[in-house]
Chain A
Amino acid sequence: MSKDDQILEEFTSKEYEHGWSVDFEADEAPPGLNEDIIRFISAKKDEPQWLLDWRLNAFRQWKDMVEPKWPNVTYPSIDYQAIKYYSAPKQQKKPDSLDEVDPELLKTFERLGISLQEQKRLTGVAVDAVIDSVSVATTFKESLSELGIIFCSFSEAVKDHPELVKKYMGSVVPSNDNYYAALNSAVFSDGSFCYIPKGVRCPMELSTYFRINAANTGQFERTLIVAEEGSYVSYLEGCTAPMRDENQLHAAVVEIYAEKDAEVKYSTVQNWYPGDKNGKGGIYNFVTKRGICAGNHSKISWTQVETGSAVTWKYPSCILKGDHSVGEFYSVAVTNNFQQADTGTKMIHIGKNTRSRIVSKGISAGKSQNSYRGQVHVMKRAENARNFSQCDSLLMGDKCGAHTFPYIDVENKTAQVEHEATTSKIGEDQIFYCLQRGLDEESAVALIVNGFAKEVMNKLPMEFAVEAQKLLALTLEGSVG
């Protein structure tokens, strides 16, 4: 075995570090999916009638839909009746402060490196922590509410701000948008809700941390972000799951609504359990994320670092409806072993002078398959629309694949659209250059990969960039192609 292969071997045998699980008492629904389960979830959460109707309506639509087969991924079919659609850590009552939260839960998040205690003030991130189906704690609520910002779990929002939820839920991703969005709309358990009032610049990063803990459960959360005129918010999302042999389903929906002059920045570091090195287990990550730039001069920016999940199927999109609105998508997707990722974005230009930018970096290693799938659509009245897309792939080893499926549809003559893509491996000359200057092979690769992904990493907020860089290094160090 050559040195390269050894390093590659070492890297492929690297364990997933968040693979433990904790036993706490959980409140669960029996496995299966029918209208009674949906009523059960709704009743558990004490929801108003309109929301139950909305769920049931989505469920009825879902029953008529078929699972999409067009993504470039293969996996055994999912038995939707074997999944538990509700699981929540048992709690006597809703805690008023963190001191009342189950210490076991707090420890769980500390083990993940996410302290829910207020010492996080130092880094200035407000966290909404979601375990399995339920939001367990939200920090910094008070100081945010002084500015009029609402940041709470989705269930609380339904209780405290029903008019906002009613107005915006489903406005960007309708309940019948696609198979998984419909499923989510029917059974979603919790998630985060965030509302930034007019003219407010959110002083800290808002963050949701998702953790799947229970076995055999699906996680279906919903995030809704509403940015009123002239507001700004930067939102982070992180996730991990225990190592289990069976596959678990995660089908989330994220909706962003940006009014005039508003700016929303949404960053994700996705680190669900990717399965073991033989491709056993792992999370199916089928997520619908979409934002609408409804007002003029609004901006939505997606940044994602995708390192986990057995199968990923995710296209954070922007509908550029307002004139002069801007959509951005920055992505690093890393796949290893038997992971499969089919990810990309959609930029729908509707308004005049809209601009979008797509930078996608795919890194495949092991026996993984990594696809970029994106659409840039310039509608008839989108005068002077401008798009630039770049998607680069890096292949490590000769058993992995990198694929690109860009759709470019232009119906307006003033549009200027550019797309470019390259696929390559790490050049021997690049490594040689580094070796000559005293770096060992592993750090040379790390350096080159970091350079490859830097354009996207730079877009991440500070707090996340460190974690993401660590993750990237962990997943790829030493894998010389």
Chain B
Amino acid sequence: MEETLTLEDVISAAYHGSSISKPDSILKNFKETALSEMEAMGLPHKKHEEYKYTPIRKVIEKMLQTGDADNEYIPNVDVSSFVYQVEGNHLIFVNGEFRPDLSIINITDGLEITKIDESSFKEFGEVINKASDQSYNAFTAWNSAMFQNGLSIEVAKKTNPAPIFIYHFYQSESLVLSHPRILVSVESSAAVDITEKSIFTNGQVFSNNVTEVLLQQNAKMSLTKLQNHDEQSVLHDGVHVRQARDSRFDINTFSFAGKMIRNNLNISLDDENCETNMHGLYLLNGTTHVDNHTAVDHKKPHSLSNELYKGIVDGKAKAVFNGKIFVRPGAQQTNAFQSNNNVSLSEGATINTKPQLEIWADDVKCSHGCTIGQLDEEAIFYLRARGLDEVSAKAMLLNAFAEETLQNVTQEVVNSEITEMISNRLQ
């Protein structure tokens, strides 16, 4: 990368140089609009308030300097080595592209799983960007310009299909720039349970994920994310949700490792009586940098949002949390609760947290709390007095601290995997 070229120039050149920019493509208009939007907005600098603590632009620039993405490489995917041995639909992404051929899709009652590509794109022209229009940023635009073979999941009315597991598999001999795109649309009175996890084998990965969720009346969705990445990989994960009346959305985000992880969670409660539960746990060591930015926008009365993020930060890791709650004029009887608790275990660990409330309605109950502290000396003493050594006493307390964030993880196999990961880490 030459000095005079900006990151946006490099991205734009990459687009025009790749096979995505076919002149006769049905996607051409959509992609070129997105590209120019990305260029106009620019990927956020460190001066950008929302990216103040997370210099992701710089990290991407550095990654692109070290080498080019190798588009010719054909990964060798052994699906059986990583899928959960449970009933359900197992959907595989390889280096950011949805691969129906590798996926295990066999229980499809009430489900329509489609690959978003040239041939199917016109079905999604209306839906794409609908959930993200208010939280649209340069990363979303970048994804729009670059994604190939996205995934659409549609859940039919009044159905409760088998659980869905999405695996992001990465393998390359050099750099991988991945732009997975997922659209989820849950029709009225339907319910769906989705788990997402990443598998790293080889290569340096920057992944710019965009997931858009549209929940119709009385729909229900639970999304669990497992972010246990390779220490070279960088993730920017945008989840954009729109909820209609009486719907419920649960999200559980577990971040364990990676070079840098940025989660943008934007939830718009468009109508009355919605419920949103956001749980998160970050358990960090080394130099991992995890940034959780969440925003819940209460637009109509009688909704409830509940947020609980917990962090255990060790080594030279850095944890950033920013939770925003907006209560718009007229959104009376809103209940919004937000809590962020952190345990700092080492000298070099840094925690930046900013729980933010913006409220324009008076008949509401909103609260937020955040704490940063250490393990209680007295609690450790209590356990040690009962014969536990210091390490197991600490592990027991931290396990108890972390456990609360697991309560909404419904898939047993995922729940026990996370539990195990937590206790392994805390040994």
B53 closest partner in A (C-beta): A409
CB distance A406 to B49 under 8 Å?
no
A398 closest partner in B (C-beta): B362
Interfacial chain B residues near A481, Cβ < 8 Å: 362-363
Q: Cβ of A412 < 8 Å from any Cβ of B?
A: yes
Q: Cβ of A407 < 8 Å from any Cβ of B?
A: yes
CB distance B49 to A70 under 8 Å?
yes
Interfacial chain B residues near A146, Cβ < 8 Å: none
User: Which of A408, A421, A423, A481 has the most chain B CB atoms inside 10 A of its CB?
Assistant: A423
CB distance B352 to A419 under 8 Å?
no
Q: Cβ of B67 < 8 Å from any Cβ of A?
A: no
Contact flag A421-B354 (CB < 8 Å), given A398-B361, A413-B374: no
Query: Which candidate, A59-67, A298-306, A389-397, is the interface stretch facing chain B?
Result: A389-397
Q: Cβ of B159 < 8 Å from any Cβ of A?
A: no
Contact flag A425-B344 (CB < 8 Å), given A407-B354, A418-B370: no
Separation in Å of the A316 CB from the closest CB of chain B? 20
Separation in Å of the A378 CB from the closest CB of chain B? 8
A72 closest partner in B (C-beta): B358
Interfacial chain B residues near A421, Cβ < 8 Å: 355, 357, 367-369
- Residue in contact with B357 in the complex, picked from A396, A407, A415, A423, CB distance below 8 Å: A423
CB distance A403 to B362 under 8 Å?
no
A70 closest partner in B (C-beta): B49
CB distance B353 to A408 under 8 Å?
yes
CB distance A398 to B329 under 8 Å?
yes
CB distance B355 to A406 under 8 Å?
yes
- Residue in contact with A408 in the complex, picked from B363, B366, B372, CB distance below 8 Å: B372
CB distance A403 to B359 under 8 Å?
yes
Contact flag A395-B374 (CB < 8 Å), given A405-B354, A413-B345, A423-B357: no
User: In whole angstroms, what is the CA distance A407 to B349 when docked?
Assistant: 17
B contact residues, range: 35 or more
Q: A393-439: which residues lie under 8 A (CB-CB) from chain B?
A: 393, 395-425
User: In whole angstroms, what is the CA distance A388 to B355 when docked?
Assistant: 15
User: In whole angstroms, what is the CA distance A404 to B358 when docked?
Assistant: 6
Contact flag A398-B332 (CB < 8 Å), given A421-B368, A425-B363: yes
Interfacial chain A residues near B351, Cβ < 8 Å: 408-410
Interfacial chain A residues near B349, Cβ < 8 Å: 413
- Residue in contact with A416 in the complex, picked from B332, B354, B355, B372, CB distance below 8 Å: B372
Separation in Å of the A422 CB from the closest CB of chain B? 4
A contact residues, range: 20 to 34
User: In whole angstroms, what is the CA distance A395 to B357 when docked?
Assistant: 13
User: In whole angstroms, what is the CA distance A399 to B362 when docked?
Assistant: 8
User: In whole angstroms, what is the CA distance A396 to B347 when docked?
Assistant: 45
User: In whole angstroms, what is the CA distance A425 to B357 when docked?
Assistant: 15
Interfacial chain B residues near A395, Cβ < 8 Å: 359, 361-362, 364
CB distance B358 to A403 under 8 Å?
yes
Separation in Å of the A8 CB from the closest CB of chain B? 11
A372 closest partner in B (C-beta): B357
- Residue in contact with B368 in the complex, picked from A70, A397, A404, A411, CB distance below 8 Å: A404
Interfacial chain B residues near A407, Cβ < 8 Å: 352, 354
CB distance A410 to B344 under 8 Å?
yes
User: Which of B344, B350, B354, B372 has the most chain A CB atoms inside 10 A of its CB?
Assistant: B372
B350 closest partner in A (C-beta): A411
CB distance B369 to A423 under 8 Å?
no
Separation in Å of the B143 CB from the closest CB of chain A? 29
What is the 8 Å Cβ interface bit string for chain B, positions 357-394, against chain A (1 contact, 0 not)? 11111111111111111100000000000000000000
User: In whole angstroms, what is the CA distance A130 to B360 when docked?
Assistant: 38
Separation in Å of the B301 CB from the closest CB of chain A? 11
Interfacial chain B residues near A415, Cβ < 8 Å: 344, 372-373
Interfacial chain B residues near A425, Cβ < 8 Å: 362-364
Separation in Å of the B370 CB from the closest CB of chain A? 5
Separation in Å of the A28 CB from the closest CB of chain B? 41
Separation in Å of the A166 CB from the closest CB of chain B? 35
Q: Cβ of B125 < 8 Å from any Cβ of A?
A: no
CB distance A424 to B365 under 8 Å?
yes
CB distance A399 to B329 under 8 Å?
yes
Interfacial chain B residues near A398, Cβ < 8 Å: 329-330, 332, 361-363
Interfacial chain A residues near B347, Cβ < 8 Å: 412-413
Separation in Å of the A7 CB from the closest CB of chain B? 15
Interfacial chain A residues near B361, Cβ < 8 Å: 395, 398
Interfacial chain B residues near A404, Cβ < 8 Å: 355-358, 368
User: In whole angstroms, what is the CA distance A397 to B329 when docked?
Assistant: 11
Q: Cβ of B71 < 8 Å from any Cβ of A?
A: no
What is the 8 Å Cβ interface bit string for chain B, positions 319-334, against chain A (1 contact, 0 not)? 0000000000110100
Interfacial chain B residues near A405, Cβ < 8 Å: 354, 356
Interfacial chain A residues near B344, Cβ < 8 Å: 410, 412-413, 415
Contact flag A416-B374 (CB < 8 Å), given A404-B357, A405-B354, A421-B355: yes
CB distance B354 to A423 under 8 Å?
no
User: In whole angstroms, what is the CA distance A418 to B370 when docked?
Assistant: 6
A378 closest partner in B (C-beta): B372
CB distance B373 to A420 under 8 Å?
no
User: In whole angstroms, what is the CA distance A402 to B371 when docked?
Assistant: 22
CB distance A403 to B357 under 8 Å?
yes
Separation in Å of the A458 CB from the closest CB of chain B? 23
Contact flag A420-B372 (CB < 8 Å), given A395-B362, A398-B361: no
Interfacial chain B residues near A423, Cβ < 8 Å: 357, 359, 364-367
Q: Cβ of B108 < 8 Å from any Cβ of A?
A: no
CB distance A420 to B369 under 8 Å?
yes
Q: 10 additional contacts, CB 8 Å, given A395-B364, A398-B332, A399-B360?
A: A398-B330, A401-B360, A402-B357, A404-B357, A404-B368, A406-B355, A408-B370, A409-B350, A419-B368, A419-B369
User: Can you identify 27 A-B contacts, CB atoms within 8 angstroms?
Assistant: A70-B49, A395-B361, A396-B362, A397-B362, A398-B330, A398-B363, A400-B360, A404-B356, A404-B357, A406-B354, A406-B355, A408-B370, A408-B372, A410-B344, A412-B347, A413-B346, A415-B344, A417-B373, A419-B355, A419-B368, A421-B355, A421-B357, A421-B367, A422-B367, A423-B359, A423-B366, A424-B365
Sorted nearest first, the 4 A-B pairs with minimum C-beta distance are A395-B362, A420-B369, A413-B344, A417-B372
